[in-house]
Amino acid sequence: MDEFSTLQQIAVRARRNLDWNVWDYLMGGSESETTLKRNRQGFDALALAPRILRNVMHVDPSTTFMGKRLNFPVMLAPIGSLQLVTPDGALASANAAAEVGTMYFLSSVTQPEMENVGPATNGPKVYQLYVKGDDDWIDLQVKRAQDAGFEFFCLTVDTAHYSRRERDIIKRWEPSSRRAVVEDGGIDHLACLDWDTVKRFKDRHDIPLILKGIGTAEDAALSVENGIDCIYVSNHGGRQLDHGRGSIDVLPEVAEVVKKKVSIIVDGAIMRGTDVIKSLALGADAVCIGKLQGLGLAAGGKDGLVHTLKLLEAEIKTSMALLGLHDFSELDATFVEEVEPLMPAHQTSPYTHIELEEREYEI
């Protein structure tokens, strides 16, 4: 992996390695992809405000998240159908997370199953569930996850209906994860989720619960009232509701309501170390990466993802030093300012020296 010295080169290699169907599945969004673009535009509309003369010889990007020490505040989001991106599927991501010292979210609609992933890795792990059954079925999935060594549980709550992802529809292509979500009446169970489901879960299970798909301050407040351990601000990478707000735009209002009572995660178009810093400045305790995780895997499997994470960590440390930060306890909203974005937002717009769909580049 030494041939990759930048994240841009990772993206180029990933594009070369993936066929168009899998590339569009990984990088695309729903309908007009407005939400996807707003995810990126939200970061581009924030400038950083550095402090100087702080003696930043030593910079520490580590953090503690829900009692677990992370070498840096970047976790791996749950992604369905990872086996389309790399033959090892979820095992590649789980092993990469353990190697670099961070947390991994295993999707319930990827391969291999939790019983194969959990015992195979020693890092902290979260099991993310798309509900496809009744209350007893949920109870069974919780037991399976705990028996497999998962210490945290995540319910995805923004999939009451499977969205219209037109890149896939136009080509009449369907990933296995879509079939796994909608088969056997699964989408009906997702549509029926409500706060009573959450209350019952908290009453019956002694495992920290994360809700993924929070998009408003109102639902963040309800999450706190219902005893949720972690709020995961997400719009599914722009892959569910179109014409939504960018996740980073929602984050400050969620942080204001939560007031540090529970942990906060954010995802959506995080492709640079500065994106991570902006997220923490506006109230997140950690971020998750989805598309960038997929690019790393596509570029070189587990080793490609490890290298991607190390490059991202290097960007974080460099930016921390240039901002005058010794660690993240010193970071707050005074380090960011709203500005006008300089470029049109799209899935790879943070990588300004490449044009993936127009020309070939030598690594």
Task: Give me the residues paired with residue 63 across strands.
Answer: 70
Q: Is 104 left (phi over 0), alpha (psi -120 to 50) or beta?
A: beta
182 CB neighbour count, 10 Å cutoff: 18
Task: Tell me the two tokens of residue 47.
Answer: 């400038």
Phi, psi of 64, rounded to the nearest 5 degrees: -115, 125
Q: Are 159 and 131 in contact (CB under 8 A)?
A: no
The candidate with the shortest Cα–Cα distance to 275, out of 9, 2, 25, 72, is 72
Q: Are 140 and 113 in contact (CB under 8 A)?
A: no
How far is residue 220's CA from residue 231's CA, in Å, rounded to a whole number?
7
Catalytic residue (choose from 236, 243, 326, 346)? 236
Task: Tell me the two tokens of residue 110.
Answer: 């990827």
Phi, psi of 18, rounded to the nearest 5 degrees: -100, 140
Q: 236 catalytic, yes or no?
A: yes
DSSP single-letter state for residue 351: -
The candidate with the shortest Cα–Cα distance to 255, out of 292, 314, 214, 298, is 214
Tokens 């895997």 sit at which residue?
297
Residues in the chain: 363
Sign of the C-alpha dihedral, residues 37, 42, 47, 48? negative
The candidate with the shortest Cα–Cα distance to 281, out of 226, 333, 223, 352, is 333
Amino acid at site 264: I
The verdict on whether omega for the bond into residue 344 sits within 30 degrees of 0, i.e. cis, is no
The candidate with the shortest Cα–Cα distance to 238, out of 130, 153, 312, 166, is 166
Q: Which residues are catalytic?
A: 236
